[in-house]
């Protein structure tokens, strides 16, 4: 997406447009529940009209996920890390939700970035992942899903399971060319854990989440 | 051309064909088999290859297979021995635990009676149990060859339909029977009281290792 000269940070606008797209796909519910609670840049109001007239596609393909995940390491620091994480997380979460038959969905890239920035570095990968998972959920990185007859879980559990699957994937050892398989395997592994994952999130128990990541990240 | 017989699971040529169905990996098999993405690909390909051999099609429940994988992983970890001298024996035992989880949850279903085997063969009698057993034997055999440079001899018991009758009849009441059955077909004498408990294995059950 070309960088607008009035927008030093395009992420809030992307989030706003994706929220509008989600509304369109869901069929006209109230905008209030899906717009980001953060301040919406003024240009978003102008382009909203354009989006409503011409429902643009802002989809990132799984191929983008593959390259992003390949570059990504959970414990990476640096000024680009937050944006890279947010972009990778957005695409990976959508891929996981597709496998869970829960699209269309509204995923907030901005919330993903803020979750990253809110988590102090330190600890091993599993502890980092647990802290980040909680921050992602608290930040409402998933702001709406669509439940179908073949969606395997109800909405409250879906969010925690989907976040868990992506975080599992980010910690897993990767081999060239198997990123798509990695995401689907991480999703299936998360599902196979049944109620353990939603329970760990619901209990807001970092130790339980850390233990799950530590046990299973090597087995995706 | 090898004169293999899918009626006789002890036939090395059959195991050889089925081993070729396992996906390649750059990792040791003992590591790859504990990654879901390798495990489920291996199982799916194996099931398809077996179906072609015996003349039926299997339907696979991938979600159930993932649950089986998690249970097996945990079971293997819980009983993993600390002594390095037990490592060799534990490979066979872990294969038995895998069969236990597969048979207990049974992620495959044959769509029809196999058409390419003797109606009195194990494959015809219980195609689902048959494919699960041979999968475990094939992976175990490949891992043993890689890890210990050993071939795996399969006991004649596997060709005995009465053993399969007993296996199928008893496993419904006691899932641990699967672990004992696998030990049996590997030529060992299981502790039938607790065939899925590694520490309870009989002293003379497994080959002594020095």
Option in B35, B37, B70 nearest A193 (CB) = B70
Beta strand pairing call for A142-144 and B58-60: unpaired
Q: Do B70 and A185 touch (CB under 8 A)?
A: no
**Number of alpha carbons in the 13 Å side-chain half-sphere of residue B109:** 6
ipTM of the complex: 0.88
Q: Higher model confidence: residue B67 or residue B154?
A: B67
Q: How confident is the model at residue B201 (pLDDT cuts 50, 70, 90)?
A: confident
CA distance B70 to B39: 11
In tens, the pLDDT along A102-115 reads: 988 889 999 999 99
**Residues of chain B neighbouring A218 (CB-CB closer than 8 A):** 34-35
Q: Do B37 and A191 touch (CB under 8 A)?
A: no
pLDDT at A55 over 60: no
Q: Do A188 and B62 touch (CB under 8 A)?
A: yes
CA distance B195 to B96: 9
Per-residue confidence (pLDDT) for residue A38, from 0 to 100? 45
Q: Do A185 and B40 touch (CB under 8 A)?
A: yes
Per-residue confidence (pLDDT) for residue B117, from 0 to 100? 94
Instruction: Compute the nearest-CA separation of B183 from chain A (Å).
Output: 26
In tens, the pLDDT along B157-192 reads: 999 999 999 999 999 999 999 999 999 999 999 999
Give mean pLDDT, residues B80-92: 92
For chain B, how many residues are written? Answer: 210
In tens, the pLDDT along B95-153 reads: 999 999 999 999 999 999 999 999 999 999 999 999 999 999 999 999 999 999 998 88
A193 touches chain B (CB under 8 A): yes
Per-residue confidence (pLDDT) for residue B57, from 0 to 100? 96
pTM for this model (two decimals): 0.84
């Amino acid at each position: 997406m070309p960088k607008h000269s009035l927008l030093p940070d395009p992420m809030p606008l992307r989030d706003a447009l994706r929220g509008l797209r989600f509304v369109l796909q869901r069929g006209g519910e109230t905008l209030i529940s899906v717009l980001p609670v953060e301040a919406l840049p003024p240009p978003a109001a102008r382009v909203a009209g354009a989006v409503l007239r011409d429902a643009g596609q802002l989809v990132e393909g799984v191929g983008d996920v593959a390259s992003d995940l390949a570059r990504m390491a959970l414990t990476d620091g640096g000024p680009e890390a937050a944006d890279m994480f947010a972009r990778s997380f957005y695409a990976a979460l959508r891929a996981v939700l597709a496998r869970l038959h829960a699209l269309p969905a509204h995923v907030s890239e901005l919330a993903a970035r803020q979750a990253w920035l809110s988590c102090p570095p330190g600890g091993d990968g599993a502890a980092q992942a647990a802290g980040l998972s909680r921050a992602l959920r608290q930040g409402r990185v998933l702001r709406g899903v669509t439940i179908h007859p073949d969606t395997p879980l109800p909405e409250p559990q879906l969010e925690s399971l989907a976040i868990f699957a992506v975080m599992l994937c980010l910690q897993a050892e990767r081999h060239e060319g198997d990123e798509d398989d990695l995401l689907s395997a991480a999703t299936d592994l998360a599902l196979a854990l049944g109620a353990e994952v939603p329970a760990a999130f619901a209990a807001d128990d970092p130790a339980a989440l850390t233990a799950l990541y530590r046990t299973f990240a090597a087995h995706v | 051309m090898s004169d293999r017989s899918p009626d006789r699971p002890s036939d090395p040529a059959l195991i050889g064909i089925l081993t070729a169905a396992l996906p390649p990996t750059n990792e040791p098999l003992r590591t790859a088999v504990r990654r879901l993405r390798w495990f489920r690909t291996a199982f799916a390909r194996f099931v398809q290859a077996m179906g072609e051999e015996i003349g039926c099609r299997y339907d696979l429940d991938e979600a159930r297979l993932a649950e089986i994988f998690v249970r097996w992983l945990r079971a293997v970890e819980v009983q993993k021995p600390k002594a390095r001298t037990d490592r060799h024996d534990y490979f066979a035992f872990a294969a038995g635990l895998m069969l236990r989880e597969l048979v207990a949850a049974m992620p495959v279903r044959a769509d029809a009676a196999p058409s390419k085997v003797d109606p009195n063969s194990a494959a015809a009698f219980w195609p689902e149990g048959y494919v699960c057993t041979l999968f475990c034997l094939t992976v175990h055999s490949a891992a043993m060859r890689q890890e210990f440079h050993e071939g795996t001899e399969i006991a004649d018991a596997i060709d005995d339909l009465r053993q399969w009758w007993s296996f199928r009849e008893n496993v419904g009441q006691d899932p641990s029977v699967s672990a004992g059955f696998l030990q049996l077909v590997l030529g060992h004498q299981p502790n039938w009281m607790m065939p899925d408990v590694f520490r309870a294995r009989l002293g003379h059950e497994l080959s002594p290792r020095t």
